[in-house]
Amino acid sequence: MSESNRLRIAIQKSGRLSKESLKLLKSCGVKFNINEQRLIAHADNMPIDLLRVRDDDIPGLVMDGVVDLGFIGENVLEEEQIEREMLGKPALFNKLRQLDFGACRLSLAVPNEFNYQDASSLEGLRIATSYPNLLRRYMQEKGISYRDCMLKGSVEVAPRAGLSDGICDLVSTGATLEANGLYETEVIYRSAACLIQSTQAQDPDKQALIDKILSRINGVVRAKE
Ligand code: PRT
Ligand code: ZN
């Protein structure tokens, strides 16, 4: 595979981060037409290619140096980093900046009838989550042992379905917890979207383009504050 001289940026194809990531790039003056069927979109006015992928793939693509930049939620980024460190895979990246969208928290929650005092109320119980590494880190810090129930989706229905006693899931408004008869007990991680860069050496032209985009992003975000 030949190394491209074009800057490669990974963004979520469709989901909670895609619109805002695209909007930010557009407001930095990057012009592109997205074809929904295509993985790659080429910018018209700068040597930039957008890679439109599942958000879960973005940290690895940056850490492996397959792409130069990525827009990603810190929750997914840190979960993947811990996983890769355990497996001995490349896990380095530079965080260029936190962004002003995608804010959420990873929280413990239990059924309304659960008598929760503190995290030790979950000792020995089963917790459903899509974030096993962030959950383990938090519970280890507290010295609490618990049992895993790994679910990639529908985490909020696990207690009612009899799969787990509590959950550890992303929350923004809290409406999903409420609709499922759960209440939030502890925030274990606060997250927002961020822009990350691969740690691989860049050629000077690419690095100059990255610096230009970052300085424009800083300007756009500052103007909104
Ligand atoms: O298909 P792909 O894998 O790319 O997308 P995805 O389905 O894995 O992710 P997506 O688009 O749902 O979320 C992408 C990122 O958005 C997350 O990793 C977070 O960084 C961020 N984010 C911000 C959120 C939320 N807010 C959020 N509320 N991600 C998910 N939720 C879900 C949460 O899991 C729960 O089901 O929304 C529900 C709770 O919302 P409230 O408002 O009812 O509390
Ligand atoms: Zn995902």
Q: How far is CA 139 from its chain centroid?
A: 21
Using CA positions, which residue lies closest to atom 32 of ligand 1? 170
- 211 close to 68: Cβ distance less than 8 angstroms: no
Classify 161 as helix, strand or coil. coil
Nearest listed ligand to the Cα of residue 189: 1
Nearest listed ligand to the Cα of residue 77: 1
Rounded to 10°, the helix 204-224/18-27 angle is 100
Q: Is 172 in the pocket of ligand 1 (CB under 6 A)?
A: yes
Nearest atom in ligand 1 to the alpha carbon of residue 155 is 36
Question: How far apart, in whole angstroms, are the C-alpha atoms of residue 142 and residue 206?
Answer: 44
Classify 193 as helix, strand or coil. strand
Q: Is 152 in the pocket of ligand 1 (CB under 6 A)?
A: no
pLDDT of residue 3: 58
Q: Output the CATH code of domain 7-101+192-224.
A: 3.40.190.10
Question: How far apart, in whole angstroms, are the C-alpha atoms of residue 25 and residue 128?
Answer: 36
Question: How far apart, in whole angstroms, are the C-alpha atoms of residue 225 and residue 217?
Answer: 13
Q: Is 124 in the pocket of ligand 1 (CB under 6 A)?
A: no
Classify 71 as helix, strand or coil. strand
ipTM of model = 0.99
Q: Is 68 in the pocket of ligand 1 (CB under 6 A)?
A: no
Task: Provide the 10 A C-beta neighbour count for residue 70.
Answer: 30
Residue 152 — φ and ψ, nearest 5°?
-80, -20
Total residues belonging to the chain? 225
Mutate to test the pocket of ligand 1, among 51, 55, 100 (most ligand atoms within 8 A of CB): 55
Question: How far apart, in whole angstroms, are the C-alpha atoms of residue 216 and residue 225?
Answer: 15
Classify residue 122 by its DSSP letter. G
Q: Output the CATH code of domain 104-191.
A: 3.40.190.10
Tokens found for residue 66: 């397959």
Nearest alpha carbon to residue 167 among 135, 137, 145:
135
| Cα angle 81-109-148, degrees, rounded to a multiple of 5 | 55
pTM: 0.97
Q: Is 17 in the pocket of ligand 1 (CB under 6 A)?
A: yes
Name the residue type at position 63: M
Q: Structural domain boundaries of the chain? A: 7-101+192-224, 104-191
Tokens found for residue 64: 């492996």
User: Parallel, antiparallel, or unpaired: how do β-strands 7-12 and 182-191 relate?
Assistant: unpaired
Q: Return per-residue pLDDT of the chain as tens, 225 residues.
A: 555 789 999 999 999 999 999 999 999 999 998 998 999 999 999 999 999 999 999 999 999 999 999 999 999 999 999 999 999 999 999 999 999 999 999 999 999 999 999 999 999 999 999 999 999 999 999 999 999 999 999 999 999 999 999 999 999 999 999 999 999 999 999 999 999 999 998 899 999 999 999 999 999 988 888
Same CATH fold, 104-191 and 7-101+192-224? yes
